[in-house]
Structure 1
Amino acid sequence: MILKKIYTEPKQLFEPVKFIDGINFIFGKKEQSTDTKKSLNGIGKSTFLDLLDFALLSSYRSDTSPRLMAAQQKGILKGLSVVLEFEVNQIEYAISRSFEEPNSVKFSINDSSFEDYSVDDLKRKLCKIIFLKKDYEGYFDEKWLRYLLLFFLKIQKPKKEKFTDPVKYIKELTAAELNQYLLFLMDIDNKLAHQNFKLQTDLKNIEPTIKGIKKFILESYGIQDIGEASSRVKTLIIEIEEIEKAIKSFNLSKQYQIDESRANKLTAEIKELWFLNHQDRKKIDAYRDSVHEEINVNPLKIKRMYEELNSLLANNIKKSLDEAIKFKKKLISSRQEFIEEEINQLVESIRERELEIEKKGIERRSFFAMLESEKAITDLTEAFKSLSNKQNEKASLESQTKIYQDLIREKNQIEQEEKKLEGKILDYSLKNEKEELAFSRLFRSIYNYLYPDLNDPSIFSISPNLDADSKLQINILPNNEMLSKGRNQGRTLIYDLAVLLNSIDKKINAPRFLVHDGIFDGMDKAHFIKLYEFLEEQKLQGKRFQYILTYNEEGTLTDNFGNADKVTTEKIEAEAILVLSPKKKLLGDF
């Protein structure tokens, strides 16, 4: 993949930038009246690279694209799209992505008309276009686009640590996950790394689930240890059997002549007496209000309503209503003494029925005396409710315990697979010795060129580390004086160049560009000059690549830095693909 050009439309925020083969400087130039380096911050160098990243389908949120989001909130990017033109294997492509609708992207092949894609769909398509290798023996996933591209796009973010460990190039991801991407980019078989990542992911997912369900069981059932769950189930089984036995005894006891039909009959009789009392009270109200009310009750209609429940009850209801209406008609034309007499009779009837209700209630309660005396249950309804609750508790506990045990078994199986994988990883170096050695030679040649004064016998290796989740450890310049000067910048520089040049030497599908934003901040300028010379030599050898870096004017490079005449400020400015200054910012005064 070679970058061609980037610009905005329909309005141009800046002149279209054309990428070139070799070194692409994004240059921060001082103004004549300016002497401080601080004035070169915020002129748009990193923002320009953000636009490139945006065109390559980066996520567009305030935490991932703070500079662009701030510009959009100011209205600077309103109505604009970024267009990136590039080529892969001599086929021309173009991406157009709008800031207004970042999840909808336009894509063109060989100057054809743009077609609409969702970001996710185009990510998968681009991943295959840019990274798919025909003869690669390892694992590849078309969902990897952004994970792989971020290796080639080292763009500094506000308040983020600069140039972390080169192996940890995406800080948020684990080494176990990153290993599969790094081995893929180095064209070394990554199947074991991918298998390990899957196993570690499964373990990571299953462990909190096991912990959560264990906590739920302990707290829900009042037990101290998960082993008590089995004992609790047995206790519930015994309690269920005892309740079932009590219910069976309750239904068949000859001593108390108890059966369900008799209990139901008593309940029905009590309810009927309640209803008759209710009706008589309604009659009393009707007598007292008869002078002011009309008769609008339809006994036949009410009878039909109750016939669905109980025909005898319905007849009684109808009869009672008929009598009530009859009495009401009499009341309308009778004297007050007659009304009082009828009310007294109804009150007496209600009292007699209440006595009957109490008697039948005593009789019904006697059916439960046996169970009540043993402080068990006082009603069949409570018996079945208690039985149901314990059966549900038993079923739930058994179910939760089974899930817990299944998860433990699954975890054990994963750990067994992990042990098998560890055995294969011990043989990993031997199996991939040829590829690893070839990459190590390339790495050493870059290291010796850029840092000729340093001599470290241990500069690159891939070794088993079974104590770590990653299982494989990629070692890059473990300990030397270079780290005290440029921290991880020097390690990142060498390793990234090795991956880029390895892809070129082996003619494998991968980006031929590499973006380093501010990598030389604080580094010895002699290394910058050596890098320039090294890349110029690679270009003369016919290697096609694009090394894109931001660089600020910092004064004269003297002979103390090597061949300083090759890399003058004037030369950098002349070769730069984009020159920015405090008076010529990328987005104006924003």
Structure 2
Amino acid sequence: MKLSRLYSNKPEQFEPVDFVAGLNVVMAEIRLPENRDKDTHNLGKTTLGRLLDFGFLAGRDPKFFLFKHLDLFKDFVFFLEIELQDASYVTVRRSVEEASKISFKKHQAGHQDFSALPMSEWDHQDVPFDRARDLLDGLLDLRALKPWSFRKGLGYLLRSQDDFRDVFHLRKFQAAHADWKPFLAHILGFDAPLIVQHYDKETELTQKQTTAQTIKDELGGSIEDISKIEGLLLLKQKEAEKKQKLLDAFDFRAQDKDRTKQVVDDVDERIAALNAERYSLNQNRKKILASLEEDQILFNPDEAQRMFEEAGVLFKGQIKKDFQQLIAFNKAITDERRGYLQEERTEVEAELKRINAELNALGKKRSDMLSFLSCTDVFTKYKQVSDDMVTLRADITSLERQRGFLHRLQELRTDIRALTEERGHLQTQIEADVERQNSDKSSLFSVIRLFFSEIVEEVINRKALLSVSPNKEGHLEFKAEILDESGNATSADLGHTYRKLLCIAFDMAILRAHIEDKFPRFVYHDGVFESLDDRKKENLLAVIRRYADLGLQPTITLIDSDLPVRTEKDEPVFSKDEIVVSLHDENEQGRLFKMKAW
């Protein structure tokens, strides 16, 4: 697949761009002195790449310049002519106003103009957007990309300035790593289905773990022991059956017997135990309060001195000092003891508060039971037993709900263990495949990394390393690094200039490695020579021309100030055939779109 022609229904505002088989150059001349120091010139060399993406059926983005300035471009219809693998052509027709309706026409000769062709003569007319993508994917027949569509790899083929920030992770790949890493692994020669399965298992595992956590949150602090739940449920159900029989028979003798036994055995025993505990705690509290009062030191040295002086007894400073030290020592001990006593007092009072609350509840329960026993009205007893049944049924419903949650939780835990094991097996297979591709000198990845290093070395006389390795989670990590003379990775690749070079080298190495496959043959690099010195520019141009001679179709954009300086003044860097678009800043006629800047 190569680019053949890009044109519109308004040639006076957008002149046709006819691409050639080899090197294509988009040249922008800065003729006005005041524009030479500007970083951007808005002439259209970057815009051309965006238009190609539009022709390749990019999604409708409101920030895209055609839709952002719809008042300027709504009447435009663009036509992208693409050369197919069998030397035939397909033209894609896409208007700005109705960008979701696409038309196609296949033809044998290139560089056609179908802008005036009636709609009835198109092979496929106004095809809906998603169907149009599928149709174009079939027409391009890029089998080496399968199971991914042609759109997946376009980010590496149409690099704008923003796409040189990272060799692998493009701006368009804003989604999770699972969206782009398997594809990248595929074109590098790794077992992509394994990586897809690994991400799928990981996603499924995360979903199961989230559901399990949600169920645990629903249970709150409830019992998580299924055996205990089943036991409680059985007892509650048995009790409910007994009460139901009482209600059905309208005979409350057995209920009276149960209530009497419960009052004597359970409630009264518990009340007696709590009263005994409360008595003991009250005694402790009394002793603590007494100890706190006794701990006060009543001896005052100053008062003792006055008393001795009045009695005519000398009370010299040393004796007073010794008393003060003794008092200070005793006070320190007393303060510590008071602290412990205060803590114990707080604990005792808290326990008394709890016991009093429980005694109040038990007293009410005992009163209700005795009231039931002393009641002679059978209907009142029927009502009370019915109320008990309502409470029992509510408890049973709650327990059944918990049981259902716990059964689901156990199923999820079984699934989580199985998925964790499957993910581990996939991770082992991925690691084995990565090791195999790295060690096999004839593997596609080994071929790509050799081409990659050769390009970088030819341009800057330094080797570069392309590496792929799995991290501890089993996800592939991709690295591109420039090496020093000793073969060690340096930080040179962190600079924008060298990072751009690594991007260019990666894209071209991929294309060359797949040159015999049904794979794209073109690449578009914006601002290819920026920031490089003249010698490196010449080296890079030599590499690009050599790759064009191999059958690839590189398209580069640059401004005239980025041209390498030649010693032979009369010899142009590019031939007229190579320059497919000429732009300048003198007037509107020098722009890609012959109109004012938007």
Q: Which category of TM-score, normalised to the shorter sequence, fits these structures?
A: 0.5 to 0.7
> What residue is the counterpart of 1:81 in the other structure?
77
2:552 is matched with which residue? 545
Q: 2 CA distance for matches of 1:231 and 1:523?
A: 75
**Could you tell me which of 194, 199, 213 is aligned with 1:197?**
199
AA matched with 1:473: E
Counterpart amino acid of residue 68 in structure 1:
L
Shift of 1:237: 5.0
Alpha-carbon contact 2:529-2:563 (below 8 Å) kept: no
CA distance in 2, matches of 1:237, 1:519: 78
Q: Aligned equivalents of 2:517 and 2:564: distance in 1?
A: 37
Cα distance change, pair 208–383 in 1 and its aligned pair in 2 (3 A): same
Structure 1, residues 41-81: CA drift from partner, whole Å, max 9, x if none? 3233222221111111111122xx43222221xx1111322
Give distance in 2, aligned partners of 1:99 and 1:76.
Answer: 10
SS in 2 for 1:76: helix
1:181 matched residue in structure 2: 183
Partner of 1:408: 413
Contact 1:130–1:511 (Cα < 8 Å) also in 2: no
Matched, 1:446 2:475: no
Task: Answer yes or no: is the 8 Å Cα contact 1:2–1:86 preserved in 2.
Answer: yes
Using the TM superposition, give the Cα deviation of residue 446 of structure 1 relative to its aligned residue in structure 2, in angstroms. 1.7
Q: CA deviation at 1:230?
A: 6.6
Matches within 5 A, 1:88-103: 88-89=84-85, 90-103=87-100
Shift of 1:84: 0.6
State the Cα distance separating 1:547 from its structure 2 match.
Answer: 1.4
**Counterpart among 64, 69, 72 of residue 71 in structure 1:** 69
Given residue 249 of structure 1, which amino acid in structure 2 is its aligned partner?
Answer: L
Which among 580, 585, 590 is matched to residue 583 of structure 2? 580
Q: Are positions 1:518 and 2:527 aligned together?
A: yes
> Structure 1 residues 410 and 123, CA, compared in 2 at 3 Å: closer, same or farther?
farther
CA drift at 1:387: 6.0
Which runs of no fewer than 5 residues in structure 2 stay unpaired?
109-120, 256-375, 483-488
Residues 191 and 433, structure 2, Cα contact 8 Å, conserved in 1: no
Q: Distance in 2 between matches of 1:389 and 1:81?
A: 70
CA distance in 2, matches of 1:43, 1:392: 74
| Distance 1:229-1:256 versus aligned 2 partners, 3 A rule | closer
Please give the secondary structure, in 2, of the residue aligned with 1:496.
helix
Is residue 475 from structure 1 mapped to residue 463 from structure 2 by the alignment? no
User: Equivalences for 1:256-405 in 2 at 5 Å?
Assistant: 366-370=377-381, 377-378=386-387, 383=389, 389-390=394-395, 392-405=397-410
Counterpart-to-counterpart distance in 1, 2:568 and 2:393: 90
Gap change, CA 1:368 and 1:37, over 3 Å in 2: farther
Superposition RMSD in Å: 3.5
Q: Give the % identical residues.
A: 19
Answer whether contact 1:6 1:18 (CA < 8 A) is retained.
yes
Q: Deviations over 1:144-186 (max 9, x none)?
A: 3322222212234xxxx55232122354244454332123323
TM-score by length of 1: 0.67
The 1:124/1:580 distance shift into structure 2, 3 A limit, reads same
The CA deviation at 1:390 is 4.6
C-alpha change, 1:232 and 1:482, in structure 2 (3 Å) is: same
Secondary structure of 1:214's aligned partner: helix
- Structure 1 residues 243 and 494, CA, compared in 2 at 3 Å: closer, same or farther? same
Q: Relative to 1, partners in 2 of residues 1:427 and 1:371: Cα closer, same or farther, differing over 3 Å?
A: same
In structure 2, C-alpha distance between the alignment counterparts of 1:555 and 1:57, rounded to whole Å: 32
Equivalent position SS for 1:477:
strand
Q: Residue 165 of structure 1 aligns with which residue? A: 166
Partner residue of 2:513 out of 502, 505, 519: 502
Structure 1 partner of 2:104: 107
Structure 2 vs 1, CA of residues 445 and 257 (structure 1 numbering), >3 Å: closer, same or farther?
A: closer
| 1:522-562 deviation line (CA, Å, top 9, x unaligned) | 3445433212111222334xx22221233223266336xx9
Deviation at 1:5, TM superposition (A): 0.8
Whether 1:428 aligns to 2:433 is yes
| Residue equivalent to 2:363 | none
SS at 1:586 equivalent: coil
Q: Name the CA distance, whole Å, in 2 between partners of 1:4 and 1:171.
A: 27
What secondary structure, in the 3-state scheme, does the structure 2 residue paired with 1:95 have? Answer: strand
Task: Name the structure 2 match of 1:61.
Answer: 61
Report the secondary structure of 1:38's partner residue.
coil
TM-superposed CA distance for 1:233, in Å, is 6.2
Find the aligned partners of 2:382 and 2:499 in 1 and give their Cα distance.
80
Say whether the 8 Å CA contact 1:29–1:40 is kept in structure 2: no
